[in-house]
């Protein structure tokens, strides 16, 4: 059974850091492109970052570029999202996602997502 489990969310002050983890089970993560999405209350879900499988290339939304870093540890079947210099507008539920036909691109390709994690809440507030 394909499963993605996020962890690492929490409450942090503006300017702080968090590292989110996305652990996969039921499949070998290194064969898949992986995306991170987020959804704030009252807003549409948006792509944040993604990482490809072949060359490990990465993409970021303009709003997080230079502050967030996505990486993968294939030995642990886990993808990470390091979030630095957090801002109140980063407050959202964060989800990792993938799919058989999912690929990392500028549009983050939510249409091709088949598998979602349960989400982890990130709250940035003083």
Quickly list DSSP for the chain: --EEEEE--EEE-TT--EEEEEEEESS-GGGS-EEEEEE-TTS--EEEEEE-SSS--EEE-TTTTTTEEEEEEGGGTEEEEEE-S--GGG-EEEEEEE-TT----TTTTGGG--EE---EEEEE--
**Residue 53 pLDDT:** 83
Tens digits of per-residue pLDDT, 42-63?
999 999 999 998 778 999 999 9
pLDDT of residue 55: 78
Q: Which two tokens stand for residue 26?
A: 């039921």
Could you read off the pLDDT of 58-101 as tens digits, one per residue? 999 999 999 999 999 989 999 999 999 999 999 999 999 999 89
Distance from C-alpha of 114 to C-alpha of 26, rounded to nearest angstrom:
14
Six-digit token pair at 16? 């702080």
Candidates 60, 55, 18; CA nearest to 35 is: 60
- The pLDDT value recorded for residue 2 is 86
Task: State percent of the chain over pLDDT 90.
Answer: 86
pLDDT digit string, tens, across residues 13-29: 999 999 999 999 998 88
Angle at 116 between CA 113 and CA 119, to 5 degrees: 140
pLDDT at 9 over 90: yes
């Amino acid at each position: 059974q394909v499963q993605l489990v996020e962890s690492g969310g929490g409450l942090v002050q503006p300017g702080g850091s968090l590292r989110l983890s996305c652990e996969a089970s039921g499949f070998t993560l290194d064969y898949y492109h992986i995306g991170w999405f987020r959804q704030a209350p009252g807003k549409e879900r948006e792509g944040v970052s993604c990482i490809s499988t072949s060359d490990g290339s990465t993409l970021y939304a303009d709003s997080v570029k230079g502050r967030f870093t996505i990486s993968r540890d294939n030995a642990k079947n886990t993808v990470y999202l390091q979030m630095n210099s957090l801002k109140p507008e980063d407050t959202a539920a964060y989800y990792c996602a993938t799919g058989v036909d999912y690929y990392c691109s500028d549009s983050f390709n939510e249409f091709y997502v088949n598998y979602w994690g349960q989400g982890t809440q990130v709250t940035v507030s003083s």
